[in-house]
Structure 1
Amino acid sequence: MHLSPMLAAIERGDDDAVFELLDGVTADELASDDALTLLAAAAHAGRHEVVDWLVQWDVDATRPWADGADPVMWAAERGMYWVLLALLSRSRDPLSADSPHRRALRTAQDAIGSKADTRADPRPAHLAIITDLEAVLGIRRPPDELMARALVNADPHHDDWFASVHQLGFRADQETFDWARTVAENISSLSRRRFALSTLNFLGFGLDVHKDEEPPFTREAAEFLRPLLDTEQDPHALATVIDAFTGYCHREEVTAILVHADHADPYVRRSVAANLYITTAIGPAELPDVLAALMRLATDPVPETRTTALHKFTLSAVDTPELRAVMAAHLADSHFDARIEAAAGLALRGDERGLAALDAIRSGIKNHRSPGAGRLTDIRHMLKVRAETGDQCH
């Protein structure tokens, strides 16, 4: 194993280089002390995807590291949520008396309020660890308690918030929906309302419901959220309302979010771009407005919003000179993913400019881990299907 270049790549945060080097590693090397050294280095650097790759390939996450540290307890003590999840990803029998899950839970509980070294992760997430591990161990906490954990930081981008919302979302039952709606109706606390709306959004995925069934509260949720599209003033809450409403409503009702396509807040615009689709479910009177909104969003100053809007054109058969002009303008976009989507949209409409751009992008791909490699594979498949079925855009 070429350990030195891997360690250097981990230190500079270059996961792609690490994965490229790992492609040539043998099973015997992955069972060596070098692999354990690499696992420890990736964990210390917070490179959870590298940790997960190594654990999936049977590097032992229970073996003490060279300094004697227990990997699982080390990550739990420091609140390194994603590293810990990666270390536990192959762990079996979490309900056993001394399972790594139980040890990690006790460690995270003890670490709260202590002066544990968090230099490896400046945003420790002990509460997220506790929330997830309790769920694995069958400990069900009431919604108010999970919300209280999220509001310790009151940051929707913190792992403590994510874990609480995620676990409530898994329940997908009427009781949790009623709780979230009641909290969201109370305007006395913005943080509580944000959390409740996020919970409503996650509940909409129906994670505990058969994939062919709607959650039982689908219509109630849509009716509750629809007026908020017009009245919500907080941009973060509004973006969540857009996400949640479009998850519950029928596709033809999605046009209700068009009013926010030019919102001043970038998160709101991105939510609109993510939830607009050009489909036959949208009536012919509304279709031009949807198409016009997506074309405007395709020129958004935020790269991810442009990419999202351009991607919607790869999913549609609508073809107009104006639409092609928008995509052609982004063949030289400064954002790599936006260039790919623009090229794909043109290529799928039989436009040689798109095909040529895809060839140029493909020539710069080194291997299957290179940025854009996976998306190019998807596009190649779509082009093949179009060629075989004769399904051309018009």
Structure 2
Amino acid sequence: MTMVPAPVHEDLFEAVLGDEVDTVVRLLRSGAPAEATDEDGGTVLYTAAVNGHAAIVRLLLAAGADPGRGSGETGGDLPLCGAACNGHTEAVRALLAVGAWPDQREEHGFTALAWAVRQGFADTVRVLLEYGADPSLPGPDGALPLVAAARRGSAPIVRTLLSRGAPGGEAALAEARSWMGRDVERVVREALAEAYGAGRVPDGGAAPGGAAGRDGLEGFETVTRRITEDGGVTLEVEVLRDGIPVAGREQQTGHAAIVTLLEESLGLRPPPEELAERALRCGDPALDDWTEAAEALARRADDETFDAAVAWCGDGDPVRQTFGAEVLARLTAGTSARAGFGARALPVLRELAREARDGDLVRAVVRALGVQGDPAVLPDVLRHAVHPDPRVRRGVAVAVTGLVPAGHREGVTSLITLARDGDATVRAAAAHALAVAPDDSPAAREALADRLDDPDPVTAAEAARGLAIRQDERAVPALDALLVAEDPEGPAYRIAREALEHVHDERTRLRLESVLPRR
């Protein structure tokens, strides 16, 4: 008997590749199988998953596609692994929601978690763990997920794995420490040279391939990119031939933050100065290497840490002073405030506020003063309301939120001025501070009304909230417009909805609550 080959539904595959949801629906309704395969044995579900077309993944699953069926000539490729390997979190979620086994291994031993960890996709890792992926299963190289994440340099993934009790802390710490002292770019280049070049070339040296050889890759050019993401810096090195990318590698660089996280999880307590040096090597208060060190010190809440932070604030180096102020901000906020650090830190911070000029330092000091919750610090904070750095001006607005008493002319005037700032983030923060301030002067009301038509919807929503709190009738049409126009998943819509609790007229409130967003 002659075997008739199964039909290849090219139109379905084309629609899936093009993310044409309506076409996929039509083809499925007309009889195209949800488990169609191409001439190489690739399944249509795998094609949708590996390309991150989550809506089509859901359609195919609803039409009967098996989430655990292998794809390819040997059936060794899994839809869940294909989605996880490329960081398609919503496709991963869709597969897990219908019963895909999170720990199913592909042909070469990879699980979805092993892929997501090694590729650095923190959101995907989080979803896999939420659906029961085992954080103790090693990958095909034998490395536990925590060790692989430490090698990768992804602090967010390490943080997530630790929250799920992942084992291997000591090995992961040794791995992270070994990377912390390396020149990561050089390591990546050498790995590429070994794979694609004619051997290593010293930095700045020449190779027979000409100018391209100075990168250690004879006959090739390389491009290096540093991308700030996920609380750290991802280093990408791409190999080009005749201007066309032919290979590349990437490496995250949050190893100092990972060392700090793992030390805490293991109960280790390095000296404060050692943690400070990690932050100072990073030099960027926005990155995990800095913030994890500051948070770890603040959690100690002891005199040794406080004294070290005060000493750093008195240092002549603005970066070290910034770190000291950030540690003091954390030590004097929340539960640590009960230790009495606030009163002891206040003179240090006020003096630093008078002297500071560097933008990062001023932001740190302003924040540290703001968390004291004491209106007496307002002059020290408001002196920086005209700082040239918009991040500082925004920090001022955030710091004085809830501190400006009714009738405090300087505070209200500063907030009104900041609410007219050229930077949208400054205006939004100032509008919020003005909205929740107890001052109900005509000047405050008019300043809020002036922002109802602000091009930044968050600023407009904060202004509407401020007027609603003051029972000003101008809030109602503004809230109506925001609830119609704004994205229901966005911050402006959320603020407008929250503002409805201040609309006391029941009929008006009920009408606004029933407004349907245009989206």
Instruction: Place the TM-score, normalised by the shorter chain, in its bin.
Output: 0.7 to 0.9
Structure 2 match to 1:14: none
Shift of 1:219: 1.4
Query: Following the alignment from structure 1 to structure 2, what is the Cα–Cα distance between the partners of residues 276 and 197?
Result: 17
Distance 1:159 1:313, change over 3 A: same
**1:302-321 paired onto structure 2 within 5 Å:** 302-321=423-442
Decide which of 422, 430, 443 is 1:301's aligned counterpart: 422
Query: Following the alignment from structure 2 to structure 1, what is the Cα–Cα distance between the partners of residues 305 and 143?
Result: 40
Structure 1 match to 2:160: 86
In 2, are the aligned partners of 1:221 and 1:248 still within 8 Å (CA)?
no
Structure 1 match to 2:331: 203
Q: Structure 2 unaligned runs (5+)?
A: 1-33, 35-44, 55-81, 83-87, 192-234, 237-248, 507-519
Listed one character per residue, the Cα deviations across residues 188-212 of structure 1 (whole Å, up to 9, x for unaligned) are: x3322222222222212254x4xxx
Q: Do residues 276 (structure 1) and 400 (structure 2) align?
A: yes
Listed one character per residue, the Cα deviations across residues 148-171 of structure 1 (whole Å, up to 9, x for unaligned) are: 112223222232111111111111
The total of aligned residue pairs comes to 366
Shift of 1:32: 6.9
Q: Do residues 379 (structure 1) and 499 (structure 2) align?
A: yes
Decide which of 258, 264, 269 is 2:388's aligned counterpart: 264
Query: Following the alignment from structure 2 to structure 1, what is the Cα–Cα distance between the partners of residues 486 and 391?
Result: 31
Shift of 1:181: 0.9
In 2, are the aligned partners of 1:109 and 1:130 still within 8 Å (CA)?
yes
Structure 2 match to 1:8: 52
In 1, are the aligned partners of 2:137 and 2:145 still within 8 Å (CA)?
yes
Distance 1:32 1:79, change over 3 A: closer
Q: Do residues 26 (structure 1) and 146 (structure 2) align?
A: no
Shift of 1:308: 0.9
Shift of 1:312: 1.5
Structure 1 match to 2:174: 106
Shift of 1:317: 4.0
Distance 1:376 1:137, change over 3 A: farther
RMSD: 3.6
Larger helix percent:
1
Structure 1 match to 2:77: none
Shift of 1:19: 5.5
Larger strand percent:
2
Letter in 1 for 2:257: A
Query: Following the alignment from structure 2 to structure 1, what is the Cα–Cα distance between the partners of residues 92 and 251?
Result: 29
Letter in 2 for 1:309: A
Structure 1 match to 2:150: 76
Structure 2 match to 1:231: 355
Structure 1 counterpart SS, 2:465? helix
Letter in 1 for 2:297: L
Structure 2 match to 1:96: none
Structure 2 counterpart SS, 1:227? helix
Query: Following the alignment from structure 2 to structure 1, what is the Cα–Cα distance between the partners of residues 272 and 117?
Result: 32
Distance 1:370 1:24, change over 3 A: farther
Structure 2 match to 1:51: 125
Shift of 1:90: 1.5
Query: Following the alignment from structure 2 to structure 1, what is the Cα–Cα distance between the partners of residues 50 and 478?
Result: 33
Query: Following the alignment from structure 2 to structure 1, what is the Cα–Cα distance between the partners of residues 51 and 114?
Result: 10
In 1, are the aligned partners of 2:369 and 2:399 still within 8 Å (CA)?
no
Query: Following the alignment from structure 2 to structure 1, what is the Cα–Cα distance between the partners of residues 50 and 414?
Result: 46
In 2, are the aligned partners of 1:298 and 1:309 still within 8 Å (CA)?
yes
Letter in 1 for 2:366: I
Q: Normalising by the residue count of structure 1, what TM-score does the alignment of the two structures yield?
A: 0.78
Listed one character per residue, the Cα deviations across residues 212-243 of structure 1 (whole Å, up to 9, x for unaligned) are: x6332321210121122222232221221111
Query: Following the alignment from structure 1 to structure 2, what is the Cα–Cα distance between the partners of residues 52 and 30?
Result: 15
Listed one character per residue, the Cα deviations across residues 2-53 of structure 1 (whole Å, up to 9, x for unaligned) are: 7736853799xxxxx955994896262474759x976567656655344324
Distance 1:144 1:370, change over 3 A: same
Distance 1:172 1:109, change over 3 A: same
Query: Following the alignment from structure 2 to structure 1, what is the Cα–Cα distance between the partners of residues 402 and 310?
Result: 30
Listed one character per residue, the Cα deviations across residues 62-90 of structure 1 (whole Å, up to 9, x for unaligned) are: 44568987533222102111122123322
Q: Structure 1 unaligned runs (5+)?
A: 12-16, 93-98, 389-394
Query: Following the alignment from structure 1 to structure 2, what is the Cα–Cα distance between the partners of residues 150 and 355?
Result: 48
Structure 1 match to 2:297: 168
Q: Normalising by the residue count of structure 2, what TM-score does the alignment of the two structures yield?
A: 0.61
- Structure having greater relative contact order (Cα 8 Å, sep ≥ 6): 1
**1:338-353 paired onto structure 2 within 5 Å:** 338-353=459-474
Q: Do residues 356 (structure 1) and 430 (structure 2) align?
A: no
Q: Percent identity?
A: 29
Query: Following the alignment from structure 1 to structure 2, what is the Cα–Cα distance between the partners of residues 333 and 21?
Result: 39
Structure 2 match to 1:128: 257
Highest CA radius of gyration, 1 or 2? Answer: 2
